[in-house]
Amino acid sequence: MGLIDGHNLDAPAGSMPGLALTSIDWVINVARRNSLWPLTMGLACCAIEMICASAARYDISRFGMEVFRPSPRQADVMIVAGTVTYKMAARVKRIYEQMPEPKYVISMGSCSNSGGIHADSYSVLRGIDKILPVDVYVPGCPPRPEALLHGLMTLQKKIDRQTLRRNKPNYIFENRREGEITPLPPEAAVEIEAARLMGIDLS
Amino acid sequence: MNHVLDQKDFSGLFSENLKFDYEYDPASQILRLDAEHLPELFALLAMDERLAMDYLRDLTAKEQPEGEFHVVYNWVSIEHHHTLMVVAKVPESMEVLSATQYWESANWMEREVWDMFGIRFAGHPDLRRIYLEETVSFFPLRKSFRTLPVENVRDLGGSERELAKARAKAAKAEKEPAGDK
Amino acid sequence: MARRYTQPDVMKRRSDDLDTQELTLNVGPQHPSTHGVLRLVAVTDGEIIKSLEPHIGFLHRGMEKNSEGREYRQLIPLWDRNDYLASMHMDYMVTSAVEALMDVEVPRRAEYIRVIMLELQRIASHLFWFASFALDSGAVTPLFYGLKEREKIIDLFEMASGARLLYNYIRPGGVRADITPEFMEKLSKFIREFPRYLDECEQLYTGNAIFINRARDVGVLTREAAINLGVSGPVLRGSGVAWDLRKDEPYSVYPELKFDIPVGERGDVLDRYEVRFYEMRMATEIVRQAMEGLPEGDFVAKVAVSPKTKAGEVYVRQEAARGEFGCYLVSDGGRKPWRFHVRPGSYLNLGALDAMCRGYLFADLIIILGSIDIVLGDVDK
């Protein structure tokens, strides 16, 4: 953001109006990152800490993220908080697909990062990143509300770097480049096969 | 062992009414019997005024090391303040009588036992799997179920060290015949 | 068939002569008012619920199977995650089952510390229920009131155990760490102030005419139905059954403490609400008595790092925040359980939802569900 001829936007009325120059990316990113609307995807214990983060003491609204939407169609970021079982994973994936672009995923807690304490279970997905692209991982079992806030701020930094220019690496619609689908990690095949044995189609 | 509230001895009552083989230990309040005699037992527990077991607090199952299954019931009488644990041996047919005709609370608990152990309950109004999908072909809490047959999914029964040992053993067994040649 | 129950005939009262088509409505599994991942399928006639089926298992983590591969001390952090709003109660459940199959004498100081923690946990859990229940019935402000006060208890737990939500504090033989004078100071301040806070909440919400109209005579569960359906905890007491395991099958040092059991009259949503509020007052009273009677001495008995138990089977039970938590442990004499089964309170309470909802309006469904106070981790295991 810059000034021309020493004039600024706060100039008193009647004097020459100021001009500010900046990139359109900056303006769009400021607007986007300061009102991230999360989708409530509270699955287990971490959901309680997510609710605590939105309550009186931690006050998530300081960062413009207090508008928890129950509908995926109004949300920007999905906070996957808790253990994802195969049975729920299919639903999580479907809800993610219903969110409008650009969309982000925060994986909150050990269970959704990697399966955590339940990683040896027959019914738990070992990490939500096997089926969705994850932007920020928040470690902890469960993470404290401060950790979630830090995760959201990390996401803000990521959004700050994004651009509308199609040929740049930080393109906003990275997930939806034409003809490209985000590749799933190699372990995903194992999880999809395990889910199939549990009667769930994750592919 | 069972935490007993009012220490009562039902030995006389049972020997008077139960005309089959059973084991009863008044100290721990555990009654053991074969599951085919459950109809008489249910009728006695529910209808007898001295027992009046009105609250079925828990119903589950367990697998014995030798492979037979037991269904375990825990009753309490809110009216008379006493408890009873019943351990019933499941027959080969893997089917026992449902308790839902007397205690509605058995409905979901029996569905859970069917889901986890594959024990059927005759006379249950709606015996479907409760946690897992209907298409699943295994019963997770049986000891024979160790893991999903997918590579990289960790074994459920043993620790990492045991697993590593087993793998080393298997690798060695593979090598040895090759060495003989 | 003598013991089958009858529900009050509300259907007749509410229905009219209009011909309406049966409609199947789905709620969840991702829905803000199902307290997690629960799916409800309701068959309605107009606006009246004819039958309701909860579909569960979206959070089934196979905990019972996983328990069989873990040592006893490793079970405590695992089962902490079962009922994550009453983690102390889960700790105590595992511990008391293991202790029942071991020769260990728990020091009296440890028992008193346990009771303090269990009752504080009950208050914390009920406060969270208050916050979410008010949200279910359409009020937003109590969410902040409830969680603000809950944070004070969380701070106390953090001082004692180091964790905010899942404590892993109570262990075979006693507790993990002794409580400090600073803890006692902070606790006595909390106990002094808490009843005044409860009064404030009641002024804010209990007398509210809109709330009373929504809650009174809604979701009625009769006494006979409650017993037959196996519900427990505040839902059972709300239906007029004076059954509290702290009184009726006492454990720990509860026989030495004086407290009352609240019992409802109508068995509706309002009764369950009042029972929980009274329980919070009583829990405060129990904590005060336990603080005064707290003896000096050890806080943990000598127990091996990886304890072995005697071979045998045991069923222990306790009155947790959400009803009876039973634990059936079968041991073959080793360091790991042969079979570890938990009777979760929420599971059977949720099973009674169908009986509570039949004949009421679809709009009442959420407030009835809120009044049961389920935790899906506990339902699904």
| pLDDT, position C70 | 83
Domain count, chain C: 1
Domain that holds residue C248: 53-380
Check pLDDT > 50 for residue C23: yes
Question: Is C54 an interface residue toward B (CB < 8 Å)?
Answer: no
Strand, helix or coil for residue B13? helix
Please give the single-letter amino acid code of residue C60. Answer: H
From chain B, the residues in CB contact with C338 under 8 A are 62, 65
| Domain presence at residue C23 | no
Q: Which helix (H) or strand (E) holds C189?
A: helix C181-201
Residue C249: give its domain's CATH number: 1.10.645.10
ipTM of predicted complex: 0.83
Instruction: Return the amino acid letter for C275.
Output: V
Q: Is B58 helix (H, G, I), strand (E, B) or coil?
A: strand
Whole-prediction pTM value? 0.85
C310 interfacial to chain B (CB closer than 8 Å):
no
Q: What is the pLDDT of residues C84-111, one digit of tens each?
A: 888 999 999 999 999 888 888 889 899 9
Asked if residues A87 and A123 have their Cβ atoms less than 8 Å apart, the reply is yes
Q: What does the pLDDT look like over C256-285, one tens digit per residue?
A: 888 888 898 888 898 999 899 899 999 999
Q: Say which amino acid occupies A182.
A: T
Question: Is there a domain that residue C37 lies in?
Answer: no
Helix and strand numbers, DSSP H then E, in chain C? 16, 10
Smallest Cα–Cα separation from C87: which of C176, C148, C149? C176
Does residue C187 lie in a domain region?
A: yes
Question: For the segment C245-261, what is each residue's pLDDT rounded down to a tens digit?
Answer: 888 888 888 888 888 88
* pLDDT tens for each residue of A95-124: 888 888 888 899 999 989 888 888 888 888
Residue C357 lies in a domain: yes
Per the domain annotation, does C288 fall within a domain? yes
* Cβ C249 vs Cβ C317: under 8 Å: yes
Residue C141 domain flag = yes
pLDDT value for C1: 33
The pLDDT of residue B179 is 46
User: What does pLDDT average to over chain A?
Assistant: 81
Q: Which tens digit of pLDDT belongs to each residue from A154-174?
A: 998 888 888 888 777 788 876
User: Is the backbone of residue B73 left (phi > 0), alpha (psi -120 to 50) or beta?
Assistant: beta
Q: Which CATH class is domain B11-149?
A: alpha beta
**Cβ–Cβ gap C147/A57 under 8 Å:** yes
Residue with tokens 């830090």: A150
Q: Give the residue extent of every domain in chain B.
A: 11-149
What pLDDT band is residue C73 in, cutting at 50, 70 and 90? confident
Which residue in B has a C-alpha nearest to residue A200's C-alpha? B133
Residue B114 tokens, joined: 């069917």
* Angstrom distance (rounded) from CA B62 to CA B72: 8
Q: Which residue has the tokens 């089964």?
A: C341
pLDDT at B181: 42
Residue that wins the pLDDT comparison between B9 and B70: B70
- Shortest CA gap A116–chain B (Å): 13
Tokens linked to A164: 């509308």
Q: What is the mean pLDDT of residues C354-371?
A: 87
Whether B102 and chain C come into contact, CB under 8 Å, resolves to: yes
